[in-house]
């Protein structure tokens, strides 16, 4: 049966032309087909083949193929799984989640990250960047370091939290993300991957919308479109988002996030305290996680009018220097300093109070190996 393959399985697929199938998918098809693993039932064929094309097509990088080859060179040594049907030349083995190699775990998580990126691009535009950041900020911003409650746990998507004044503006975006989540989950379920958490989805939405916005800016500044595309694609800043956040079904306490009418001093006090384990400060103590520089970058970018928010902050001596600094960076061709700082500070925000499941999105896989004798 044809099925989704991980990047680590590409090397084996290229050489043997035998396809690999997650354990869960075998149970979804007729017994005869799940045993032979040669043809896909009509319910899953088109979706599975499309996934295979994505993982084994011409766009597979040389590095990915090298990783695949390395992983499968070790396969006969590290696969203690259950032997399945034997056709005399090969043996099929179930590789459980606990037995996945580091390469395989990384590749399976990359699968859902790539799938999410693909579906998010269908529903998001560069204009959604600030609202997506606002969503994650309002999720993270409920974190209380003293009680270890709140934080990035997806609770901002719950109806009770969406009804709060600070979250009313997020409802149209949440509707878009719900559409993307449905597609991501349906595709993953075919191959045994669990549903993406709302917390992870929100963080990936920030990444996709923000990078789309940055790309649009760089292309608009170039004398020719192709030149802007080259700059955006070849010299783009790294923007990493870890996966595995666990959703909470319980709303975070209300009243923890400053309202739109909050003064700059109130916002400053809130941001300085956010995630700060040393509120007393003092000589030799580390800076708060969201001191003036990251606060300026993230808070202003999450507002309905980021430029107006920056102007407001720049009137305060605590923030004025950062406005000048980042304006200079954003006038350059690559905008590197601003974008690198944004990605670094967002990574910190996206993990604030989050609880992670290291096995999220992993699934058992059936592999086909040649007999050694």
Q: What average pLDDT values come out for the chain (373 residues) when binned by 10 residues? A: 38 36 44 33 49 48 42 38 57 87 94 97 98 98 95 98 96 98 96 95 98 93 83 83 97 94 96 90 82 97 96 96 96 92 98 97 86 70
Q: What pLDDT is recorded for position 373?
A: 62
Domains plus CATH for the chain? 7-104+359-370 (no CATH), 108-350 (1.10.520.10)
Residue 60: per-residue pLDDT: 42
DSSP state of 144: B
pTM of the model: 0.79
Specify whether the CB–CB gap between 2 and 55 falls below 8 A. no
What pLDDT is attached to residue 233? 83
pLDDT for the residue 67: 40
- Give the CA-trace dihedral at 51, 157, 246, 355, to 10 degrees: 130
Task: List the alpha helices (DSSP H) in the chain.
Answer: 10-16, 23-26, 31-36, 45-56, 62-73, 75-78, 102-123, 129-140, 159-162, 171-190, 198-221, 225-234, 264-273, 292-301, 306-314, 317-330, 336-350
**CA 71/CA 225 separation, integer angstroms:** 40
Contacts of 143 (CB under 8 A, 6+ apart): 149, 150, 151, 152, 274, 275, 352, 353
Tokens 């911003």, located at residue: 141
Sign of CA dihedral 114, 118, 123, 129: positive
């Amino acid at each position: 049966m044809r099925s989704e393959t991980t990047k680590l399985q590409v090397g084996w697929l290229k050489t043997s032309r035998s396809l690999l199938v997650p354990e869960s998918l075998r149970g979804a098809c007729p017994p005869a087909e799940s045993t032979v693993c040669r043809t896909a039932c009509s319910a899953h064929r088109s979706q599975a083949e499309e996934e295979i094309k994505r993982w084994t097509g011409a766009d597979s990088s040389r590095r990915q193929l090298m990783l695949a080859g390395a992983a499968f060179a070790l396969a006969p040594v590290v696969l203690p799984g259950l032997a399945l049907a034997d056709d005399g030349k090969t043996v099929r083995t179930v590789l459980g989640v606990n037995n996945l190699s580091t390469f395989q775990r990384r590749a399976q998580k990359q699968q859902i990250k790539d799938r999410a990126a693909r579906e998010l691009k269908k529903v998001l535009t560069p204009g959604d960047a600030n609202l997506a950041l606002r969503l994650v900020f309002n999720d993270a911003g409920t974190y209380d370091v003293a009680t270890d409650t709140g934080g990035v746990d997806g609770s901002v998507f719950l109806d009770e939290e969406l009804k709060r004044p600070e979250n009313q503006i997020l409802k149209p975006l949440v509707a878009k993300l719900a559409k993307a989540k449905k597609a991501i989950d349906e595709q993953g379920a075919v191959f045994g991957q669990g549903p993406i958490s709302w917390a992870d989805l929100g963080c990936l939405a920030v990444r996709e919308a923000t990078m789309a916005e940055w790309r649009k800016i760089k292309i608009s500044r170039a004398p020719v479109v192709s030149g802007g595309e080259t700059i955006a694609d070849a010299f783009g800043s790294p923007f990493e988002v870890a996966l595995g956040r666990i959703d909470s079904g319980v709303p975070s306490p209300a009243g923890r996030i400053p309202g739109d009418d909050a003064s700059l001093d109130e916002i400053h006090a809130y941001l300085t305290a956010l995630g700060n384990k040393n509120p007393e400060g003092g000589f030799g103590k580390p800076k708060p996680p969201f001191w003036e520089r990251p606060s300026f970058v993230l808070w202003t970018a999450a507002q309905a009018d980021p430029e107006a928010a920056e102007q407001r902050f720049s009137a305060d001596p605590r923030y004025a220097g950062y406005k000048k600094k980042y304006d200079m960076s954003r006038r350059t061709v690559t905008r590197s300093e601003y974008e690198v700082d944004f990605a670094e500070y967002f990574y910190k925000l996206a993990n604030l109070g989050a609880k992670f499941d290291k096995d999220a999105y992993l699934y058992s896989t059936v592999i086909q190996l040649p007999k050694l004798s």
